Amino acid sequence: MVRRRLGPAMIEFRSVTKQFPDGTVAVDSFDLVIPPRKTTVLVGSSGCGKTTLLRMINRMIDPTSGSILIDGEDTSGLAPVKLRRRIGYVMQNSGLLPHRKVIDNVATVPILNGVPKKDARARALELLDTVGLDRSLASKYPRQLSGGQQQRVGVARGLAADPNILLMDEPFGAVDPIVRAELQQETIRLQEGLGKTVVFVTHDIDEAFLLGHQVVILQKGGHIAQVGSPAEILANPANDFVASFVGADRGKRVLRIERVDGRDVVVDENGTPTGVLQP
Amino acid sequence: MNLLGEGIAWIVDPANYAGPQGWIVRMLEQLFYTFGAIAVAAVIAIPLGYLVGHTGRGRDIAVSLSGGFRALPSFGVIILLALGLGIGFKAPLLTFVIIAIPPILAGAYAGFEAVDRKTIDAARAMGMTEWQVMTRVEVPLGLPLLIGGVRSSALQVVATATLAAYVSGGALGVFIFQAFATRDYPQALGASVIVTALALALEGIFALIQKLVVPRGVVAKEPKDVRARAPRPRATTGIPVQEGK
Ligand SMILES: Nc1ncnc2c1ncn2[C@@H]1O[C@H](COP(=O)(O)OP(=O)(O)O)[C@@H](O)[C@H]1O
Ligand SMILES: [Mg+2]
């Protein structure tokens, strides 16, 4: 297969609106530039339009008006099926095909793209390594795996066609906190290692700050409350909504310095020590 | 000899099973009706059911159509069709096709509807075409329900095929109608036993097929996780489920 050269994958929303047939305006003239090879996190409470925004990137949903550009190319001119095959998509419930073995789930998209089955499977095995899964799981069926393992397979599948964009919709929402923390670290490592443009959706601000180079705080209707790096947002919340959302007003993020034995110890709002300050 | 014994005696008598008028030939005719009707019904009902199941459109029509078909009295339909098509195998076969359609149609669309919407959504999001979503996801996952529909069609037709004899359509009903006319109860009983045995055999075969077509991952048991099996696993057995790195 001749692989067309993909660009760095900058994504641009230009005045994008989505109104569903029932009249719900899920996204209202949304503008955003998603920088290439970085992680952008869309964060906001349930129903604010995150999933709708994400699914407009791979044309699972078409905007009512406005346009979405990938490396300057308007996606409305691209065939949805082709577009989806070059964009990785990871969802909350992993969405694995229950009747296919792990290895075949991972190999699905390359095979759709015409890669010979043998090559696709060989690559799928490598991807299991990449996402930290034992190769012995290759011949298992999704139901035989734990939730965390299924999510890893979901990530491997998202990466299988070597897309330059990876869309992740609350991918770790349903796994327990310990596994989630592990998967988050894994995601950071993968993104840094592979240089993909990751668009990550979550309602968890801590997750957003952990993963995002750029964090987009959303309000109902996909209205942007603030865009910036986690540090920028913490240092300078744009308004009360943001301050409250990131927890700055409740002292959740307020740390104090206490002097103990001649060293500066950082304590949180409850006075619990969380670390020491280095000069 | 009791009646049942006389019925069995009738079955095993070579004079009754051999030759072009014997029950073996009649039984093959019964099977011809069954599989013929199912084949024709499948060609009509499966694509239709798949279309309804995949698009979600026309479901109400499909439901009321099947309901209406089911309510048709087979005997009346055979007579009515025979008036138009003449006596012989055509009218019964067409009737049996009509009987076979509703369960297959319902099995086809119910099979598709039973597939988790999230699975289908994921398939589409990966870049499967609608055709691929159908053939690679919905068809295999919906197969058990479809076979279930075929199974009930087969059972209904194999029993109802007995009526074919009423319009000179042959099959095992020949013996039964004849027997009632001549009050030959052993023959009536013998032929009924064969019909019943045939139905049971088909039931068994289809039950088996239905089991076989369940996709493996769907029946596959939970992980061989020693922790889940015994509260105190022996440390040396089994490979712990690989969760971390
Ligand atoms: N297919 C749909 N039809 C009608 N309304 C929808 C549809 N999908 C989403 N919505 C509505 O659009 C809004 C945004 O939904 P969504 O993007 O799923 O939010 P989020 O992912 O942030 O929870 C919600 O009010 C939701 O009810
Ligand atoms: Mg959502």
- Please tell me the pTM assigned to this model: 0.86
Domain spans of chain B, in order of start: 2-214
Best residue in B226, B242, B245 for a mutation probing chain A (most A CBs within 10 Å): B242
Nearest CA to ligand 1 atom 1: A20
- Chain B residue with minimum CA distance to A88: B126
Residues A226 and A271 in one domain: no
A194 and A161: one domain?
A: yes
For helices B23-55 and B90-113, the axis angle rounded to 10 degrees is 40
> What digits encode the pLDDT tens for the residues A115-169?
999 999 999 999 999 999 999 999 999 999 999 999 999 999 999 999 999 999 9
- Domain shared by A192 and A265, yes or no: no
Q: Which residue of B has its CA nearest to A82?
A: B127
The rounded distance, in Å, linking the Cα atoms of A57 and A164 is: 13
Residue A56 lies in a domain: yes
Query: What's the CA gap between B100 and B40, in Å, rounded?
Result: 9
| CB A80 within 8 Å of CB A195 | no
Task: Determine, yes or no, domain membership for A2.
Answer: no
Ligand 1 centre distance from Cα of residue A209 (Å):
24
The pick from A13, A45, A52, A167 for probing ligand 1's pocket by mutation, whose C-beta has the most ligand atoms within 8 angstroms, reads: A52
C-alpha distances in Å from residue A173, one per residue of A90, B139, B196? 12, 30, 55
Using the mean position of ligand 2's atoms as its centre, give its distance from the Cα of residue A12 in Å: 20
Quick check: B238 pLDDT over 70?
no
Same domain, A268 and A244: no
Q: Which residues of B touch A157 (CB under 8 A)?
A: 126
Q: Residue B175's closest CA among B6, B23, B4, B25?
A: B23
pLDDT of residue B225: 41
Do A279 and A189 sit in the same domain of this protein? no
Residues A170 and A268 placed together within one structural domain of the fold = no
- Per-residue pLDDT averaged across B15-35, rounded? 92
| Number of structural domains in chain A | 2
Quick one: A127 and A259 in the same domain?
no
Range of the domain at A264: 252-279
Same domain assignment for residues A124 and A166: yes
Which residues make Cβ contacts (< 8 Å) with residue A46, sequence separation at least 6?
A: A203
Q: Does domain B2-214 have CATH number 1.10.3720.10?
A: yes
C-alpha dist (Å) from residue B102 to A260, B51, B56: 81, 15, 17
Q: Whose CA is nearest to atom 10 of ligand 1?
A: A26
A264 lines ligand 1 (CB under 6 A): no
User: CA angle at residue A62 from A56 to A66, to 5 degrees?
Assistant: 85
- In this structure, is residue A3 part of a structural domain? no
CA B231 vs CA A177, B27, B222: distances in Å: 23, 57, 16
Q: Would you give the DSSP letter of residue B103?
A: H
pLDDT by position in tens, chain A (length 279):
444 556 789 999 999 999 999 999 999 999 999 999 999 999 999 999 999 999 999 999 999 999 999 999 999 999 999 999 999 999 988 899 999 999 999 999 999 999 999 999 999 999 999 999 999 999 999 999 999 999 999 999 999 999 999 999 999 988 899 999 999 999 999 999 999 999 999 999 999 999 999 999 999 999 999 999 999 999 999 999 999 999 877 767 778 888 888 888 888 877 888 888 887
- In this prediction, the answer to ipTM > 0.90 reads no
Residues A154 and A261 in one domain: no
> From CA A212, how far away is CA B49, in angstroms rounded?
46
Q: Is the pLDDT of residue B231 over 50?
A: no
Would you call A136 and B239 a contact, using CB atoms and an 8 Å cutoff?
A: yes
